[in-house]
Amino acid sequence: MRDYFTGMEEQPFRATQVMKWVYHQGVTDFADMTNLSKALRDRLAGNAYSNLPTILSEKVSTDGTRKWLLQVDGDNAIETVFIPEPGRGTLCISSQVGCALNCVFCATGKQGYNRNLSVAEIIGQVWLANKQLGYFDSRKRIITNIVLMGMGEPLLNFDNVVKAVELITDDLGFGLANKRVTLSTAGIVPAIIKLSQFSRISLAVSLHAANDALRDELVPINRSYPIRELLSACRRYSEATRGELITFEYVLLSGVNDSENDARELAGLLRGFPAKVNLIIFNPFPGTGFSRSSMETTDKFRDILVGSGIITITRKTRGDDIDAACGQLVGRVQARARNRQRQDSATGEQQTA
């Protein structure tokens, strides 16, 4: 932005002023940026624009979770979810329209992939959520944590995601600490290594199986980047962040990956690793062939991990009644690359969320 102003033969500090208007005051109309000269405001109005996703709908769950359906272009819409908890508020943002990875238990994966979101479309979700939650009026932080766990695989949209994260963590942007921003990946190994070279945000990895045979089925990207390589990249990431724990997500699918043997295998895999495990309750969606593990099975699974010295929490499911829970986000995807089989299994209901 400084280069932009210098290029216009303006002072570089104009960038700071505009950043503060946009990210601290929530002002996006140049005409209202009153510490800029009238002439500069007019020049900006003629040369630049701010472009926000359009809110198509806002749903509020009985547990306070809010989900926005945001239109990003004529064909495509994405979802963003705010999850309030005592003492913190987490915003779950999307990084792509749809997703190409096709994890078998995920609603987003079922609808195919269309395109990467731009930096503006990613940061725009954060801006809009802050606006809707009243942050720009009160200047009281309501969103304390951001997770890249919405639609899409963030590490397959690397450059735009990294730039958006910089805006989230910069003091002239939203000023969140790196630790409060979590990127969740299905395991794009080269991108994890690249990220470790300059980013200090928290990393979560969707593991879901403790051996390659099963993970190949559940998370097909495992066929390209098997567990051993994935764990070695995670170790590098943890070392780069001076020993921060990597979160391993594990969705419990009844009769698939939730046996006591599976738990022991997972414990063996992660023993001695800088890891914590997030057990996720499976969230069903129309057309899924999977079902939730019982509470007893879930507790038993957790107890085996905890008994092996692994920090484990069971993630509460939130926003279930508005289809805002993990893996239920569908938005609207005009998929170019969707394959026939997936098209057949996707219902009309899924397409319109």
Give contact residues for ligand SAH (rule: CB under 6 A).
103, 105-106, 149, 153, 184-186, 206, 249, 251, 280, 282-283, 326-327
Q: Determine whether 103 is an active site residue.
A: no
Least Å distance, CB 6 to ligand SAH, is: 37
Provide Rg for the chain, Cα atoms.
21
Q: Determine whether 9 is an active site residue.
A: no
CA distance 51 to 120: 7
Q: How far is CA 215 from CA 51, 120, 257, 277, in A?
A: 40, 34, 10, 16
Least Å distance, CB 248 to ligand SAH, is: 9
CA distance 253 to 273: 24
- Strands (DSSP E) contained in the chain are 54-60, 66-71, 77-85, 88-92, 96-98, 113-116, 145-148, 181-185, 202-206, 246-252, 275-281, 311-315
Nearer to ligand SAH, 5 or 282 (CB): 282
Nearer to ligand SAH, 76 or 206 (CB): 206
Least Å distance, CB 42 to ligand SAH, is: 43
| 92, 106, 234, 326: the active-site residue | 326
Least Å distance, CB 334 to ligand SAH, is: 20
CA distance 275 to 270: 7
Nearer to ligand SAH, 169 or 328 (CB): 328
| 10, 58, 79, 249: the active-site residue | 79
Using a CB cutoff of 8 Å and minimum separation of 24, what contacts does 53-59 make?
53/78, 53/121, 53/124, 53/125, 53/128, 55/128, 55/132, 58/132, 59/322, 59/324
Nearer to ligand SAH, 121 or 249 (CB): 249
Least Å distance, CB 3 to ligand SAH, is: 32
Nearer to ligand SAH, 24 or 292 (CB): 292
Hey, which residues are catalytic here? Answer: 79, 326
